[in-house]
A and B are shown apart, each in its own frame.
Chain A
Amino acid sequence: MSIRVFEGFKFKPKGTYFYKLDPRVKMSFLIVYSILTLYFSTVVPLSILFLFSVVIVVSNRVAKEWGRTLRAVALLSLVIFSFNLLFGAKGNKLNYASSMTLRFLTLTSFFSIFFLTTTPEELSEALLLIGIPYEYTFMFMMAMRFIPTLARDFQTIIDAQRSRGLELEKGNFVQRARKLLPLLIPLIVLEIRRSVLIAEALEARGFGTSAKRSTLKEYRLSKVDLYLLFLTITFATSLILSSKLPPYSEIMNYRLPELVP
């Protein structure tokens, strides 16, 4: 187990246009494209959507981080592909397996873009703007913020026990998991202590006043926001229309050839 997995939760701003978007716009973008990805079930439109996400990734210079996420799900998508190819719905199995895998990758891609370019604060502020109470959005933000800390603390405890001779690499998966279990107790003690120190520091920064909270950032839709919103809507509509109207519909609904058994 490596804490590198949790590094993804650390937000590293790049300053490209997607970072500057209004969090509400980003959220609508995510929702529209997720729905589109689930709506199409053929290879061509799904590939178009996937390529579209790649364009956004590259133009926002997050290719490295995005690549890490996709590599992490590579094995899973292989499983999805083989499973559907072997046991998938009756009919064209190759076509079905390919589009299912593409759909999964495309969804991953869009979610990854969203989380790579949105700070926990923005997300919580977007949730606040759509009416979710501050207590909840703040809790969510703090949880995101302290995931890497928690992971690092756990790694410290594991290392400490390892230096005293605990062997975590030995045995099968279940045996190894069982060895990790007792390490949770010092972790919980450590985190309870930490949470008191965090609460104390929050209190000292004026957290918990009855006064209505104000915000430094003002969310007003900028020109870039409007462009992206417009682009999102036109692109989505034209994809749907072209899948309905000939002659494009023929290409859009193209199915891969049957595998010869």
Chain B
Amino acid sequence: MRTVLKSNYAIEVINLSFKYEGTEEYALNNVNLRIKEGEYVVITGPSGSGKSTLCRTLNGLIPHFYRGHMEGDIRIFGISTRAKRTHELARLVGMVFQESENQLFLSSVEREIAFGLENLGLPRDYIRKRVKWALRNFKLEGLKDKAPYELSGGQQQKVAIASVMAMSPRILVLDEPTSNLDPLSAFEIIALIHQVNKAMGVTVILVEHRLELALKYATRLILMKEGRVITDGDPREVITSKEARSLGIGIPKVVEVYKRLKEEGIELPRIPLSSEELALGVRGCLATYGSSYRG
């Protein structure tokens, strides 16, 4: 039972402001966003800038689960979240959280993946099919009968993603999914998210501090500060903007190298977002310089 989709945009956030009950300040302040289906959006910003709050508005946790005062509107494929509860939106918007401890409830990976589908009351045959799909696609077949707490942190986040993806959402929202992980596991999770975006065509909204990992795949970067979106656009432009510098976010090393080379008079054709891109750019430059020396 798919809802009929009425919009070109996967997500439309219109003049959105939100204040949690019992607080004085707005956690979100007149936010406007339009995100197309298939985009890979990375959101970053200092602590308390409203990233998690924005995520919660995307699947209806705000205003239905968290009380407070909300102005403006959010539409998911044209459907206003005011009219739909979180569980009704679960098949459109999946959400993965930072701590795996708080989002894995059952005693085997297989049951964990089935849990969301069971809650929706879907037929057993369908659940079985989806569980099989998720186990295969996320390479969890070998861990099917393991208890989630027997797994490593990286594997746990993988299970969390698989459990959400089993419900076949069109949008996947991840709120700092790698911040409790070691660098290697973080790398694997980011690669997995890329696979979800590329191979399954799912729109990804990723809140992340480790830009050197996440930006490689992003189609768009959003900076937030004090509940506002301060920059929003192409990752290469945003990451070299003065706002990015003033925010003190972790600008990837490769971008710093790029800037330094530019100061030295060597301009790479494109701002690199990964070491591969940097190497490629440098090689290109060397070839040009090499021929001019010889010339």
- B-contact 0/1 string along A186-213, CB 8 Å cutoff: 0000000010011111111111110111
Cα distance A149–B149 in the bound complex, in angstroms: 10
- A window 1-32: CB within 8 A of B: 10-13, 15
Given A13-B145, A142-B105, A215-B124, CB of A206 within 8 Å of CB of B119: yes
Cα distance A15–B108 in the bound complex, in angstroms: 12
- Residues of A within 8 Å of B178, CB to CB, are none
Closest Cβ of chain A to B119, distance in Å, is 4
Closest Cβ of chain B to A120, distance in Å, is 6
Q: Which of A120, A203, A218 has most B Cβ within 10 Å?
A: A203
Asked if B163 contacts A198 (CB within 8 A), the reply is: no
- Residues of A within 8 Å of B146, CB to CB, are 13
- A-contact 0/1 string along B107-124, CB 8 Å cutoff: 110110011111111111
Closest Cβ of chain A to B176, distance in Å, is 13
Interface residues of chain A: helix, strand, loop or mixed (majority): loop
- A-contact 0/1 string along B253-291, CB 8 Å cutoff: 000000000000000000000000000000000000000
Asked if B124 contacts A214 (CB within 8 A), the reply is: yes
Partner of B59, one of A204, A212, A218: A204
Cα distance A136–B118 in the bound complex, in angstroms: 17
Closest Cβ of chain A to B100, distance in Å, is 10
Cα distance A164–B124 in the bound complex, in angstroms: 54
Asked if B128 contacts A216 (CB within 8 A), the reply is: yes
B103 an interface residue at 8 Å Cβ cutoff? yes
Asked if A214 contacts B122 (CB within 8 A), the reply is: yes
Asked if B119 contacts A216 (CB within 8 A), the reply is: no
Cα distance A200–B99 in the bound complex, in angstroms: 12
A119 an interface residue at 8 Å Cβ cutoff? yes
Asked if B107 contacts A209 (CB within 8 A), the reply is: no
B106 an interface residue at 8 Å Cβ cutoff? yes
Q: How large is the interface on A (under 10, 10 to 19, 20 to 34, 35 or more residues)?
A: 35 or more
- Residues of B within 8 Å of A141, CB to CB, are 105
- A-contact 0/1 string along B162-191, CB 8 Å cutoff: 011001000000000000000000000000
Closest Cβ of chain B to A62, distance in Å, is 15
B35-43, B72-80, B90-98, B198-206 - interface stretch: B90-98
Closest Cβ of chain A to B4, distance in Å, is 20
Partner of B116, one of A142, A145, A206: A206
B147 an interface residue at 8 Å Cβ cutoff? yes
- Residues of A within 8 Å of B108, CB to CB, are 13, 119
Q: Which of A11, A120, A199, A216 has most B Cβ within 10 Å?
A: A216
Chain B: which residue is nearest A203 at the CB level?
B86
Chain B: which residue is nearest A198 at the CB level?
B102
Closest Cβ of chain A to B141, distance in Å, is 15
Asked if A205 contacts B115 (CB within 8 A), the reply is: yes
Chain A: which residue is nearest B105 at the CB level?
A145
B61 an interface residue at 8 Å Cβ cutoff? yes
Asked if A119 contacts B107 (CB within 8 A), the reply is: yes
Cα distance A205–B115 in the bound complex, in angstroms: 8
Asked if B87 contacts A121 (CB within 8 A), the reply is: no
Asked if B121 contacts A200 (CB within 8 A), the reply is: no
Closest Cβ of chain B to A204, distance in Å, is 4
- Residues of B within 8 Å of A148, CB to CB, are 149
Cα distance A211–B85 in the bound complex, in angstroms: 13
- Residues of A within 8 Å of B65, CB to CB, are 199-200, 203
Asked if A121 contacts B122 (CB within 8 A), the reply is: no
Cα distance A141–B108 in the bound complex, in angstroms: 13
- A-contact 0/1 string along B203-230, CB 8 Å cutoff: 0000000000000000000000000000
B25 an interface residue at 8 Å Cβ cutoff? no
- Residues of A within 8 Å of B243, CB to CB, are none
- Residues of A within 8 Å of B86, CB to CB, are 203-204
Asked if A121 contacts B119 (CB within 8 A), the reply is: no
Cα distance A216–B135 in the bound complex, in angstroms: 14
Residues of chain A whose beta carbon lies under 8 Å from any beta carbon of chain B = 10-13, 15, 119-121, 141-142, 145, 148-149, 194, 197-209, 211-218
Residues of chain B whose beta carbon lies under 8 Å from any beta carbon of chain A = 56, 59, 61, 65, 85-88, 90-91, 94-95, 97, 99, 101-103, 105-108, 110-111, 114-124, 127-128, 131, 145-147, 149-150, 163-164, 167
Can you list 11 A-B pairs, Cβ within 8 angstroms, ordered by A?
A11-B147, A13-B107, A13-B146, A13-B147, A204-B61, A205-B163, A206-B91, A212-B121, A213-B119, A216-B110, A216-B114
